[in-house]
A and B are shown apart, each in its own frame.
Chain A
C-alpha cells in the first residue's frame, strides 16, 4: 500500500467512512504498522483537543459555522429589540447619546462636511505641517533640515526687526583668501531642456549661465 493510500485510509477511519474491505485493511495495518498506529493516535488526540476548544453549545467549525454565528447575532439583536419595547408594545427611548447612530445618513453627512472643511482649509492656506507658523502677516518657517550632522538650524522671529531668522551654526568657515563675488541680476526665464539659463544683469548682459536639471544635483555655472 502506498503512503497516499495509507493516508486516505487513515482519514476515512477517523471520519468513520470505511467500507468493509477498507476496514479489514485498516485493522491489518493497525496490527502490523506502528507508524500507522501512531498517526491514528496523533489525529485522535488532535480531534479531542479541538472538541475541548469549542463550547458544547456551539456547533464545530464547518462551512455553516459562520452562518450559525450570524444567525445567533440576529437572534441577539431581536432579543434586545424585544427588550426595548414595553409590555404594551410601545418602543422605549434609546439612550440620548446613542440617538445619532440611529441616523447613519446624518453621521455620514456630518463626516462629509468635516472632511470637506478640512480639505478646503488645507488647500487654501498650504500651512499644514509647519512646525512653526507665525501670525498672518509674518514669514514663517517650517521644518528645517541640515544634511551635515554638525550643522544646526535655529529659526525664530525677531519682533524688533519684524523679520524671520534662520541661524545656521556649525558650518565650516569659508577660507579668507577666497573671493566671494556677487552681481545684480534680473529675473530669468526657464531654459529649454539641456540648455543653460542665462541670468542677466539689469543692463541685459549675461552675469551667469547656469545649467541644472538633475534633481538633487548641483547646478553648473559657466
Chain B
C-alpha cells in the first residue's frame, strides 16, 4: 500500500488566509464582547410610564408602609419634582405614580424602542436633529401587540410630551417623553 501523499500547498494557504482574516476575527470578537454593533445616535430621550389617579390611594392600593402596593420606580428628585408639577397642571386633581422609566439613545440608522414597561412602549424612528435644538421623531405607541397611535413629533429640550393612554383601574396610564439635555 502506497503511503498517503501529503499536499504541502495547504499549509502556506492556511497561514495566508489567517493573516488576512485575523483583523476581521478580532473585530467580531470585540463587537460580541461589547454586546452589539456600535450605533450612532441623534439624541437621548427619556420615557416614563405613569399611573394617574384621582385622589389618594385606596386601602387596597396601599402596602403596610402606606405606600402604593404596586411597584413604582424612583426618578431623580429634580426630574420627579418637575414632572409632577407639570403633570399636575394638565391632569388636575390627580396623583402620579411612576411605574417604569427608560432612557434611550435614538439611533440614526436603526429603530429605537423606549420600553419603560412591556405593557405600553414606544417605537422611535429618528428623522434627524432639527434647527434650534431638538430631534424630529416618528413615534408609534404600542400596547401589547397593537399600535394604538402613530405620529410625528419634534421633541425639544425642556418641553415634555404627555400621551394620555388607556384607562386602568381607577385612573389612566400616561406616557411621558422627554428629550434629555446635552
- Residues of A with Cβ closer than 8 Å to B? 124-127, 129-130, 133-134, 136-148, 151, 153, 155, 158, 160-168, 171-174, 176, 178-192, 197-199, 208, 210, 212, 218-219, 221
User: Is the beta-carbon distance between B37 and A145 smaller than 8 angstroms?
Assistant: no
| Nearest chain B residue, comparing its CB with the CB of A177 | B169
Q: Which residue of A lies closest to B110 (CB)?
A: A190
Looking at the assembled complex, report how far the CB atom of A182 sits from the nearest CB atom of chain B, in whole angstroms: 2
Nearest CB in chain B to that of A179: its residue:
B70
For residue B6, CB closer than 8 A to chain A, the reply is: no
Contact between chains at B117 and A125 (CB < 8 Å): no
The chain B residue sitting closest to A158, CB to CB, is: B90
Is B161 touching A163 in the complex (CB atoms < 8 A)? Answer: yes
Q: Chain B at the A interface: mostly helix, strand, loop or mixed?
A: strand
A125 to B154, CA, bound (A): 10
B132 interfacial contact with A, CB 8 Å = yes
- Which of chain A's residues have a CB closer than 8 A to the CB of B165? 168, 171
**Interface class of chain A by DSSP:** loop
The distance in angstroms between the C-alpha atoms of A125 and B130, with both chains bound, is 5
Taking CB atoms and an 8 Å cut-off, the chain B residues in 105-131 that contact chain A are 105, 107, 110-111, 113, 115-120, 127-128, 130-131
A148 to B146, CA, bound (A): 10
B167 with A171: CB separation less than 8 A: yes
Which A residue sits closest to B134, measured CB to CB?
A: A139
Q: Given A183-B116, A189-B38, answer yes or no on A168-B71 (Cβ-Cβ < 8 Å).
A: no
CA distance A69 to B127 in the complex (A): 53
Q: How far is the CB of A166 from chain B (nearest CB, A)?
A: 5
What residues of B have a CB within 8 angstroms of the CB of A212 in the complex? 111, 113
Contact B153 A140 (CB under 8 A): yes
Please give the distance in Å from B107's CB to the nearest CB on chain A: 6
Minimal Cβ-Cβ distance residue in B for A164: B161
Interchain CB contact under 8 A, B154 and A126? yes
Ordered by A's residue number, 12 sampled pairs between the chains whose C-beta atoms are within 8 Å are A139-B155, A139-B156, A145-B150, A162-B86, A166-B149, A173-B167, A179-B70, A180-B119, A185-B103, A192-B36, A197-B113, A199-B115
Q: Is there contact, CB below 8 Å, between A173 and B115? A: no
Given contacts A180-B119, A182-B73, A218-B142, 8 further A-B contacts (CB under 8 A): A147-B147, A148-B148, A161-B162, A164-B159, A164-B160, A173-B166, A182-B116, A210-B115
Q: Contact: B86 with A187, CB < 8 Å? A: no
Separation in Å of the B3 CB from the closest CB of chain A?
47
For the complex formed, measure the closest distance between the CB of A73 and the CB atoms of chain B, giving whole angstroms. 50
User: Given contacts A127-B130, A164-B159, is CB(A181)–CB(B154) below 8 Å?
Assistant: no
